[in-house]
């Protein structure tokens, strides 16, 4: 403690800005540049330019990110976000709260969710995407936006197609874009794909809700759903003239619940089936004939899912593959579609396999070939007969089973096939296999990370326990204990001696990076995604995946709430699913408890024997699994109700008593509740001033900071969480409360950031960062009303809750901050850094704490004593120095949470950011790496010098001895 | 058996030897009123040792006199450090309050010298101490120690100036404990 205080004093005097050195960038940090889990319909291989044969993988993911990936190494060539801002992840606060009123909610429901689609035509040089109400064309090579067309407000694009333009290709592009949008009565718009200009528009005034577009070489079909009152499940199909968009003819067709519309150059068709289908109805658009296809097989179980894969070759007839899945296995039926007679005939079936599989279609010489991917092998079927023509064993099963896949098949010679498969596994991993061998894999499930926790290396803990024992025993017993321990350790001596030479040589040869890994400790990072995966990342190995686990019976609604790590066991609390315990070292399941799986949060409190997990129900009430399983008496919890609008203080133990409730006032909402980090050591209880007097810090582990927003103002409340007393509050008028107001609380200070006016007189707004420091008393050397005794106190005893003396300063920053966090080190000696996410720059920065000192002198130069204290003149604008950027030149998109953890080295703190899309990790040394030998240290030179000195001594010693003897004889 | 054929007479003694053994020639009458150069006495030169012994013998000092003498001497020794004080003061002032090797060495000397001197107080005065002045010597020694303490005080003042004395609150803040709240609140992770 004393040493700590001295050290921290020394360290705080190191005020130079630490930055990432050029040789550290890309070595100490790691970044998974993600796209999100690719969607089946919007992922394909495509050649971006006509001049080259090389193709890229294009996708629009579930996160509405459009991007191109190099199939050779899996690196992102370009990516763009279609949704701005990124879609919010499911957070603890329920979605309904986020929408202010019911009207808006209703409006949103009528529009329906934003649908994404991606279109590309060979040789056109661009890809066209639609999402929400925007249609955009992107340069296929570099992802630059060529043009964008916005549909009228509130009209989502339902479907889009590329059709041949039929114009002179020298002046305009060879294809046009056909877009369907609207809610009641759709509009079909034909856009020139080179400029986005409208060619023609067709408006449907019938009031039917538009659904699909389809096209063949000769015609365009517009499919709309009749209102349920008139006729349930009936579709109106209208064919349109390609030249001018005039309505040709139309007819109404009755189909089943689940409808798919597929376009091929020769035939477009609509298919429908019930929820648990035995058969399927297919209609070739343009005819009235409805073909019923029987899908049932004997003894294969009930059909659960049916999907259609079109195999559109140039030749007629077109093929469709119907992929039928039962509970245990799957098979496929291939049908021929005769566009002339509008008949659908069964061609052949592909065999039933008792495994999960995925199908992909690829066109070779204008003929569709079907590829079947299972966990074991890849089979390529002949297009004509359905016989396997090529088979490749897989060297690695997919994560959670094959989800969907895209294949690129090359035929060399007569029967020598080569295949490249891009597969998106159910677990969210995107892999590319060449002839069955894994080329790369992208962990796209990490785009959905909602919770993360650090796992400590447990191997050193036994020693720590023993040392702890020795520290607390009487000297004699401790000594004998230590002696025994060393005697026990002797058995490892021979082995240690054996490996000594090799460890010495390896110690000389290993790079600095490897030595540092040993110094920092072997921490693992376990993350849980909203889609039910648990993944362990190794921060020491550039964030490589150590293990991954898919939750059993994960559902779309399940949502990981909290991760808790204890003794090498990860406990994951998943709302609506249950509690999973996983071995942290290898990811194996230990147990899975599905009882009482509804909770919005989890609090771990110490119990008499083992830590007790309190689950927070929707109304904020803490519960334990068993009545007997309770925390120690005098344990207090702070909970937040599911709506987020109530913060409650509880005393738990044998009975749970609600002590206080903090509710948002009428017309305001609680947006943020933060407490001090669980691990937040303070090295010095006071701040030493220039004249060597001490300002005592207001240190309470029970502080909680609540942000409550109104229409155009917000208030920050600092509460004592035991009694619920408000210790401090500040209201900012004319602030933008629609953007996030991040805040962080640590040690004896808190900061928050917002966009608002800086003073009441001027209307101009700016991004501001406010820092508030809390002290016991405004007078130096005074420990406040509680006096100088360092005795323990109870929050409930009269006069024990004192209001802190606060010192505040605010700074203007040039960038909005969306999330804040603070670095943590083992003992809190190292000065802290404020970690902030800058969403506009896609960056993470670390602002040194000394810059944010509210005692900086305003409008005058600092006095000598203030300089000694490390204070310098206040300037209202806080420049975000490029040296602050932890993400340096990387584009770290959508970080919504940053966590930090101490390492074995006091100087170093690990940082990990996740949440929206990317995951990023690095390590920071806020006071420089003061406990590690620098790069300038030359191990070889040192050893060489010692060796040379030893050699010199060895040579000179006999000479000196001889001389001494001679001198003795001479006298 | 060679005998010197013509033995030469021994050479005459050098002049200085002759002059040393013989008295100087008597001075001529006309110069008798010129005084001898200081320190030269014709009688002494002639008479040698016999003359001196005829001078009256110096009276040996009494015990009291030596005691007084010794006491005087010891007072001189006792007050000597006090004379150093102004010089040391100027030196300490001039050397500045920064932590540098010279000022540190000076401070070290400021401590080392007086401490050694205090330790060696008795041995310093043993030669001057007699049965008679024993009582008075205590005062002398006390003065000596007092003077050294003044030098020590100067050293303390100096390190105080350098900020090395734990006299401010900040020096003790590390020893103060944090106030621990008996209640502890836990928050959702």
Interface confidence (ipTM) of the complex = 0.79
| Residue B174 CA: distances (Å) to CA of A5, A89, A702 | 6, 45, 23
pLDDT at A18: 57
Residues A47-66, mean pLDDT to the nearest whole number: 88
Dump pLDDT digits (tens) for A403-457: 899 998 888 888 888 999 999 998 889 999 998 899 999 999 999 898 999 988 7
Share of chain A above pLDDT 90, in %: 32
Name residues 443-472 of chain A within 8 A of B (Cβ): 453
Position A769 pLDDT exceeds 80: yes
Every domain of chain A and the residues it spans: 458-517, 938-971
- In this structure, the strands spanning A703-709 and A694-696 are unpaired
pLDDT at A88: 46
Joined tokens for residue A462: 């036994």
Joined tokens for residue A189: 């718009």
Give yes or no for A10 touching B (CB within 8 A).
Answer: no
Taking the CA of residue A230 and the nearest CA in chain B, the distance in Å comes to: 52
Residue B175 lies in a domain: no
Chain A contacts of B177, Cβ < 8 Å?
Answer: 685, 790
Mutation for testing the B interface, residue in A636, A690, A864, A899 having most B CBs under 10 Å: A636
pLDDT at A459: 65
Position A102 pLDDT exceeds 70: no
- Confidence label for A1 from pLDDT (cuts 50, 70 and 90): very low
Question: Closest residue of B to A6, CA-based?
Answer: B174
Who among B169, B175, B181 is closest to A701 (CB)? B181
Joined tokens for residue A866: 């203030």
Given an 8 Å threshold on Cβ–Cβ distance, is A685 in contact with B180? no
CB A369 within 8 A of CB A378: no
Given an 8 Å threshold on Cβ–Cβ distance, is B170 in contact with A638? no
Higher pLDDT, B32 or A56: A56
CB A429 within 8 A of CB A441: yes
Chain B contacts of A694, Cβ < 8 Å?
Answer: 169-170, 173
Angle among Cα B83, B84, B88 to the nearest 5 degrees reads 140
Question: Closest residue of B to A675, CA-based?
Answer: B187
Who among B174, B185, B189 is closest to A5 (CB)? B174
pLDDT at A3: 52
Dump pLDDT digits (tens) for A324-356: 888 888 888 888 888 778 888 888 888 888 888
Q: Please write down the HEC assignment for all residues of A717-782.
A: EEEECCCCCEEEEEEEECECCCCCCCEEEECCEEEEEEEEECCCCCCCEEEEEEEEEEECCCCCCC
pLDDT at A11: 55
Residue B43 lies in a domain: no
Give yes or no for A327 touching B (CB within 8 A).
Answer: no
Residues A806-830, mean pLDDT to the nearest whole number: 93
Sign of torsion over alpha carbons A20, A24, A29, A35:
positive
Who among B171, B183, B187 is closest to A794 (CB)? B183
Taking the CA of residue B179 and the nearest CA in chain A, the distance in Å comes to: 5
Name residues 403-442 of chain A within 8 A of B (Cβ): none
Sign of torsion over alpha carbons A19, A22, A27, A32:
positive
Residues A225-246, mean pLDDT to the nearest whole number: 77
Joined tokens for residue A886: 């932890």
Mutation for testing the B interface, residue in A653, A701, A775, A786 having most B CBs under 10 Å: A701
| Beta-bridge mates of residue A605 | A612
Residue B181 lies in a domain: no
Position A770 pLDDT exceeds 90: yes
Identify which of A532, A663, A642, A628 has the alpha carbon closest to the alpha carbon of residue A598: A642
pLDDT at A15: 44
Chain B contacts of A684, Cβ < 8 Å?
Answer: 173-174
Give yes or no for A364 touching B (CB within 8 A).
Answer: no
Given an 8 Å threshold on Cβ–Cβ distance, is A636 in contact with B181? no
- Which of A10-19, A219-228, A334-343, A472-481 holds the top average pLDDT? A472-481
Give yes or no for A274 touching B (CB within 8 A).
Answer: no
Who among A604, A678, A781 is closest to B169 (CB)? A781
Instruction: Give the phi and the psi of residue A513 in degrees, each rounded to 5.
Output: -60, -40
pLDDT at B43: 61
Residue B48 lies in a domain: no
Given an 8 Å threshold on Cβ–Cβ distance, is A792 in contact with B181? yes
Question: Closest residue of A to B174, CA-based?
Answer: A2
Question: Closest residue of B to A615, CA-based?
Answer: B188
Least confident stretch, A179-188, A309-318, A699-708, A843-852 = A309-318
- Which of A1-5, A320-324, A674-678 holds the top average pLDDT? A674-678
Question: Closest residue of B to A2, CA-based?
Answer: B174
Given an 8 Å threshold on Cβ–Cβ distance, is A603 in contact with B181? no
Position A658 pLDDT exceeds 60: yes
Position A113 pLDDT exceeds 70: no
Chain A contacts of B189, Cβ < 8 Å?
Answer: 453, 562-564, 602-604, 678
DSSP A642: T
Mutation for testing the B interface, residue in A660, A694, A700 having most B CBs under 10 Å: A694
Question: How many Å apart are CA A570 and CA B189, to the nearest integer?
Answer: 14
pLDDT at A90: 38
Given an 8 Å threshold on Cβ–Cβ distance, is A790 in contact with B189? no
Residues A494-523, mean pLDDT to the nearest whole number: 75
- Confidence label for A103 from pLDDT (cuts 50, 70 and 90): low
| Beta-bridge mates of residue A790 | none
pLDDT at A674: 94
Please give the tally of structural domains in chain B: 1
Question: How many Å apart are CA A14 and CA B119, to the nearest integer?
Answer: 44
Taking the CA of residue A722 and the nearest CA in chain B, the distance in Å comes to: 7
Higher pLDDT, A786 or A815: A815
Residue B114 lies in a domain: yes
- With 0-12 / 13-18 / 19 or more C-beta atoms within 10 angstroms meaning exposed / middle / buried, residue A640 is buried
| Edge-to-edge strands, sheet with A743-746 | A743-746, A749-757, A765-775, A805-813
For A243, residues 6+ apart whose C-beta sits below 8 A from its C-beta are A166
Chain B contacts of A795, Cβ < 8 Å?
Answer: 181-183
Residue A176: other Cβ atoms inside 10 A: 22
Who among B173, B180, B188 is closest to A686 (CB)? B173
Chain A contacts of B171, Cβ < 8 Å?
Answer: 692
- Confidence label for A466 from pLDDT (cuts 50, 70 and 90): confident
How does the average pLDDT of chain A come out, rounded?
A: 84
Residues A914-924, mean pLDDT to the nearest whole number: 91
- Confidence label for A96 from pLDDT (cuts 50, 70 and 90): very low
Identify which of A455, A519, A513, A430 has the alpha carbon closest to the alpha carbon of residue A29: A513
Position A401 pLDDT exceeds 70: yes
Higher pLDDT, A254 or A908: A908
Domain interval for residue B90: 63-165
pLDDT at A962: 94
DSSP A230: T
pLDDT at B13: 84
Give yes or no for A900 touching B (CB within 8 A).
Answer: no
Residue A723: other Cβ atoms inside 10 A: 17
Residue B156 lies in a domain: yes
DSSP states of A660-685 as a string? EEEEPPTT-EEEEEEE--SS---S-S
> In 3-state terms, what secondary structure has residue B135?
helix
Share of chain A above pLDDT 70, in %: 89
pLDDT at A264: 80
H-type alpha helices, A744-879: 864-869
Given an 8 Å threshold on Cβ–Cβ distance, is A694 in contact with B186? no
Considering only CB atoms, which residues of chain B are within 8 Å of chain A?
Answer: 163, 168-171, 173-189
- Confidence label for A158 from pLDDT (cuts 50, 70 and 90): confident
CA dihedral A239, A243, A247, A253 (to 10 degrees): 10
How would you classify residue A587: left for phi > 0, otherwise alpha for psi between -120 and 50, otherwise beta? left
Given an 8 Å threshold on Cβ–Cβ distance, is B188 in contact with A601? yes
Joined tokens for residue A960: 């000196």
Position A547 pLDDT exceeds 70: yes
Position A461 pLDDT exceeds 70: no
Who among A4, A636, A786 is closest to B183 (CB)? A636
Position A510 pLDDT exceeds 80: no
pLDDT at A555: 62
CB A838 within 8 A of CB A815: yes
CA dihedral B114, B120, B123, B128 (to 10 degrees): 20
Give the residue ranges of chain B where pLDDT is below 70.
1-7, 41-56, 189
Dump pLDDT digits (tens) for A611-651: 888 888 888 888 877 666 777 777 899 998 888 888 999 99
Least confident stretch, A20-24, A386-390, A531-535, A962-966 = A20-24
Residue with tokens 């902030």: A836
Residue A650: other Cβ atoms inside 10 A: 24
> In 3-state terms, what secondary structure has residue A600?
coil
Given an 8 Å threshold on Cβ–Cβ distance, is B177 in contact with A603? no
């Amino acid at each position: 403690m004393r040493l700590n205080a001295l050290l921290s004093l020394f360290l705080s005097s190191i005020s130079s800005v630490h930055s990432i050195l050029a040789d550290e960038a890309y070595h100490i940090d790691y970044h998974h540049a993600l796209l999100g889990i690719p969607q089946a319909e919007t992922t394909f291989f495509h050649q971006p330019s006509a001049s080259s044969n090389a193709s890229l993988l294009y996708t629009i993911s579930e996160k509405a990110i459009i991007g191109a990936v190099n199939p050779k190494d899996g690196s992102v060539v370009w990516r763009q976000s279609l949704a701005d801002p990124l879609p919010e992840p499911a957070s603890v606060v329920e979605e309904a709260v986020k929408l202010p009123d019911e009207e808006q909610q209703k409006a949103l429901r009528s529009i329906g969710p934003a649908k994404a689609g991606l279109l590309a035509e060979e040789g056109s040089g661009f890809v066209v995407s639609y999402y929400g109400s925007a249609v955009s064309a992107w340069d296929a090579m570099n992802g630059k936006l060529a043009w964008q067309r916005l549909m009228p407000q509130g009209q989502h694009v339902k479907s889009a197609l590329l059709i041949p333009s039929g114009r002179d290709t020298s002046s305009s592009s060879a294809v046009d874009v056909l877009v369907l949008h609207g809610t009641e009565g759709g509009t079909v718009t034909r856009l020139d794909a080179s400029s986005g200009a409208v060619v023609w528009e067709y408006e449907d005034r019938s009031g039917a809700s538009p659904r699909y577009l389809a096209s063949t070489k000769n015609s365009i079909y517009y499919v709309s759903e009749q209102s349920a009152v008139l006729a349930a499940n009936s579709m109106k199909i209208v064919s349109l003239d390609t030249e001018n968009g005039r309505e040709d003819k139309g007819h109404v067709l009755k189909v089943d619940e689940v409808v798919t519309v597929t376009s091929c150059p020769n035939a477009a068709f609509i298919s429908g089936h019930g929820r648990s289908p035995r058969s399927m109805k297919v209609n070739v658009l343009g005819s009235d004939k409805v073909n019923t296809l029987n899908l049932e097989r004997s003894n294969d179980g009930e059909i659960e899912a049916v999907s259609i894969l079109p195999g559109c070759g140039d030749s007629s007839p077109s093929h469709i593959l119907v992929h039928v899945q039962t509970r245990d296995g799957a098979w496929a039926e291939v049908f021929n579609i005769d566009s002339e007679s509008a008949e659908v005939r069964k061609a052949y079936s592909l065999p039933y396999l008792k495994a999960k599989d995925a199908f992909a279609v690829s066109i070779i010489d204008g003929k569709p070939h079907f590829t079947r991917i299972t966990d074991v092998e890849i089979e390529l079927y002949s297009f004509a007969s359905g016989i396997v023509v090529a088979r490749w064993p897989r060297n690695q099963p997919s994560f959670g089973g094959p989800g969907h896949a895209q294949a690129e098949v090359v035929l060399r010679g007569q029967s020598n096939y080569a295949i490249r498969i891009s597969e998106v596994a159910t677990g969210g991993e995107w892999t590319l296999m060449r002839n069955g061998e894994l080329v790369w894999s992208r962990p796209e499930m990490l785009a959905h990370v909602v919770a993360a926790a650090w796992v400590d290396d447990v191997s050193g803990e036994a020693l720590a326990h023993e040392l702890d024992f020795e520290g607390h025993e009487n000297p004699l017993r401790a000594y004998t204990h230590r002696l025994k321990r060393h005697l026990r350790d002797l058995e490892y001596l021979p082995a240690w001696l054996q490996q000594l030479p090799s460890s010495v040589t390896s110690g000389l040869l290993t790079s600095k990076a490897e030595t540092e890994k040993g110094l920092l400790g072997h921490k693992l990072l376990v993350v849980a995604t909203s889609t039910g995966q648990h993944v362990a990342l190794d921060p020491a190995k550039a964030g490589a995946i150590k293990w991954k686990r898919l939750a059993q019976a994960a559902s779309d609604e399940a949502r990981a709430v909290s991760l808790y790590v204890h003794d090498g066991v990860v406990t994951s609390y998943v709302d609506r699913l249950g509690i999973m315990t996983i071995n942290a070292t290898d990811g194996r399941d230990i147990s899975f408890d599905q009882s009482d799986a509804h909770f919005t949060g989890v609090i771990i409190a110490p119990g008499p024997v083992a830590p007790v997990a309190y689950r927070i129900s929707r109304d904020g009430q803490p519960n334990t699994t068993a009545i007997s399983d309770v925390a120690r008496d005098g344990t207090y919890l702070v909970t937040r109700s599911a709506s987020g609008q109530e913060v409650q203080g509880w005393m738990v133990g044998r009975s749970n008593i609600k002590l206080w409730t903090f509710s948002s006032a009428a017309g305001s909402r609680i947006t943020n509740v933060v407490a001090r980090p669980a691990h937040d050591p303070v090295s010095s209880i006071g701040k030493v001033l220039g004249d060597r007097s001490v300002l005592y810090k207001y240190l309470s582990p029970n502080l909680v900071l609540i942000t409550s927003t109104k229409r155009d103002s917000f208030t920050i409340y600092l509460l004592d969480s035991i009694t619920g007393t408000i210790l401090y509050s500040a209201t900012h008028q004319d602030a933008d409360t629609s953007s996030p107001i991040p805040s962080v609380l640590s040690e004896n200070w808190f900061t928050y950031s917002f966009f608002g006016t800086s003073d009441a007189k001027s209307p101009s707004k700016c991004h501001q960062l406010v820092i508030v420091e809390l002290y016991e008393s405004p007078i130096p050397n005074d420990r406040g009303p509680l006096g100088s005794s360092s005795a323990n106190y109870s929050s409930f005893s009269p006069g024990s809750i004192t209001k802190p003396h606060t010192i505040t300063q605010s700074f203007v920053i040039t960038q909005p901050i969306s999330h804040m966090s603070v670095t943590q080190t083992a003992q809190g000696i190292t000065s802290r850094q404020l970690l902030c996410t800058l969403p506009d720059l896609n960056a993470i920065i670390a602002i040194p704490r000394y810059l944010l000192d509210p005692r900086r002198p305003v409008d005058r130069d600092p006095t000598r004593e203030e300089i000694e204290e490390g204070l310098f003149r206040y300037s209202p604008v806080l420049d975000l120095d490029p040296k602050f950027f932890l993400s340096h030149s990387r584009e770290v998109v959508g970080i919504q949470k940053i966590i930090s953890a101490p390492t074995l080295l006091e100087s170093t703190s690990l940082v990990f950011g996740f949440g929206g899309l990317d995951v990023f990790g690095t390590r920071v040394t806020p006071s420089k790496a003061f406990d590690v030998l620098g790069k300038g240290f030359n191990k070889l030179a040192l050893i060489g010098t010692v060796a040379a000195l030893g050699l010199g001594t060895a040579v000179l010693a006999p000479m000196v001895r001889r001389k001494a003897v001679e001198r003795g004889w001479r006298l | 058996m060679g005998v010197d054929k013509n033995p030469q007479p021994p050479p005459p003694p050098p002049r200085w030897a002759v002059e040393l053994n013989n008295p100087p020639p008597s001075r001529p009458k006309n110069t008798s009123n010129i005084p001898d150069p200081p320190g030269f006495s014709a009688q002494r030169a002639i008479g040698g040792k016999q003359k001196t012994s005829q001078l009256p013998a110096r009276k040996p000092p009494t015990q009291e006199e030596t005691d007084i003498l010794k006491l005087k001497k010891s007072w001189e020794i006792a007050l000597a450090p006090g004379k150093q004080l102004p010089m040391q003061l100027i030196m300490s002032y001039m050397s500045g309050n920064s932590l540098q090797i010279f000022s540190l060495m000076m401070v070290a000397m400021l401590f080392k010298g007086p401490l050694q001197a205090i330790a060696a107080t008795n041995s310093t005065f043993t030669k001057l101490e007699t049965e008679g002045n024993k009582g008075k010597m205590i005062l002398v020694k006390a003065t000596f120690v007092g003077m050294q303490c003044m030098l020590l005080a100067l050293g303390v003042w100096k390190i105080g100036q350098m900020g090395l004395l734990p006299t401010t609150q900040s020096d003790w803040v590390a020893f103060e404990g944090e106030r621990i709240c008996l209640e502890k609140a836990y928050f959702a992770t």
